[in-house]
Each structure stands twice: as structure tokens, then as C-alpha cells.
Amino acid sequence: MTTPSPILDRMDLLAQAWEQAADRRSFFLRCYAMMTGNMLVAIDQGEFHDAAWVTDLLDLFAGYYFVALDAYEQADGATPDVWRLAHDAALQQEAPVLQTLLLGINAHINYDLVLALVDMLEPEWQSLALQVQKQRYQDHRHVNDIIAATIDCVQQQVVAPNARWMGVVDWMLGPLDEHAAARLIRQWREEVWRQAMGMLAAADQDERADLRRLLAVQSLERGQQILTLRLDRLLRDLL
């Protein structure tokens, strides 16, 4: 049986509150809670080489989300720009549901996940045997499979109820939209691993700081591209 998760409970409670308030930030958070729940099941079922390491990463990763959210709620200047873009777009209620969701996914994967991986790997990476390093990467990649298995539920439970056009998209494209979204996220996560490796290999803290600033710029640019794409262009690009 999966161990109860305080983080998952916090996600569910906040998502419910946002849904009741018609706060569109619930789109990403509900997706994230579903993903987290499926991750906990996979951990419990022994799908990873190192369940404890993956659990710690899952908790740390969620921490990045909540720290950025708290900063945004307090109008803190330290809020990452990519998260400010995502929250602002959701609250302004101008972007389509799919774009609102992708803005959150972009911020959390293409910015938060790089930093979380560096935090987790830095204390151990140089001392790990090559085989264990490979296993860390394999565990990172296995998450892609869990994401892919979650996407259809996200579409049915999060996107479709909030976007009438999604039923038309499903009828026209069948499973291709789910496959395209999974492929996009898989590509993002491969890039994330390379960026984390680059930070770990940095010669000094100045170089790492430069890489972190570049990460912030690149993730923000990607978010701006998501926000400015027309819906038909976004779907075409995903395919």
C-alpha cells in the first residue's frame, strides 16, 4: 500500500480550493497531483533502482513548486520569472486551458527540475560508481513512462472538462495528441538531464551561476513561446 504523502495531501487541498474559486492555476496543480500520485504508486511497486533517492527527489522537486508559489503569493521579487509568467497567465484567464497547463509544466520541468537534480546529485555524483550513475539516469528516464501513462487521465479529468474543443481534438487526432505531448515532455526532460550534468561539471561557482541565469532565460523564453502561440499552431507543433 502506498504510504500517505503530506505533499500530495497539500496539492489536493490546494487544487480543490482553487477549483472552487475558479482559479485556473488548478489546471497545472491537479495535473501535478495526479502525476505525483502515480509516482508514489510506481515507487511502492518497486519500479525504480533506488526508491529512496527517487522519493527524496520527488519531495525536493515539489518543494521548488511551493517555494515559488509562496513567493508569488507574497509578491516577492525572488519569484522565478518563468513561474511569474505561468501564474499571471492563469490568473488573467486569457490563455486556453492547454497553454495554461503547459506554462506550469514548462516552469516546473525546464527550470525547477534542473535545480532539483543538481541539489540531489551534487553531494554524491563524483563518488558514485559508473553503474549507479547510469541507474540515476535510468530512474530519471523511467519517470517519462509514468508521465506518458498519466497524460490521458489529465486530458480527460483536467483539460477536457475545461475546454470544449478538446473533445473535437480527440475525435480528429485519436491518441496522437497524447503521444505528442508525451514526446514533448520526454524531449524536455532529456534536455533537463543534460543541463543538470552541465551544472555539475561547472569549473566553479561563477560558471554555475552563469548557467543558472541562462537556465532562467531559456525557460522564460520557452514559456513566452507557449503563451504567444495560437491554439492551432500549438497543436500542430505538438504533432
Q: For 91-143, what is each residue's pLDDT tens digit?
A: 987 667 888 889 999 999 999 999 999 999 999 999 999 999 999 999 999 99
Q: Which pLDDT does position 236 carry in this prediction?
A: 58
Other beta carbons less than 10 A from residue 203's beta carbon: 7
Q: For 10-58, what is each residue's pLDDT tens digit?
A: 999 999 999 999 999 999 999 999 999 999 999 999 999 999 999 999 9
C-alpha cell at 142: 523511467
Other beta carbons less than 10 A from residue 86's beta carbon: 29
- What mean pLDDT is reported for the chain? 87
Q: Is the pLDDT of residue 215 over 90?
A: yes
Q: Which pLDDT does position 235 carry in this prediction?
A: 54
More confident residue, 217 or 228: 217
pTM: 0.89
Q: Is the pLDDT of residue 83 over 60?
A: yes
Q: Which pLDDT does position 71 carry in this prediction?
A: 97
Q: Which pLDDT does position 170 carry in this prediction?
A: 43
DSSP 8-class letter at 110: I
CA distances from 107 to 54, 66, 173, 186, 216 (A): 20, 12, 27, 15, 9
Q: What are phi and psi of 75, to 5 degrees?
A: 55, 40
Q: Which pLDDT does position 162 carry in this prediction?
A: 66
CA distances from 22 to 11, 113, 148 (A): 16, 28, 27
Q: Which pLDDT does position 1 carry in this prediction?
A: 46
Q: For 134-175, what is each residue's pLDDT tens digit?
A: 999 999 999 999 998 888 777 666 766 665 544 444 433 344
Report how far residue 176's alpha carbon sits from residue 154's, in angstroms, rounded to the nearest whole number: 15
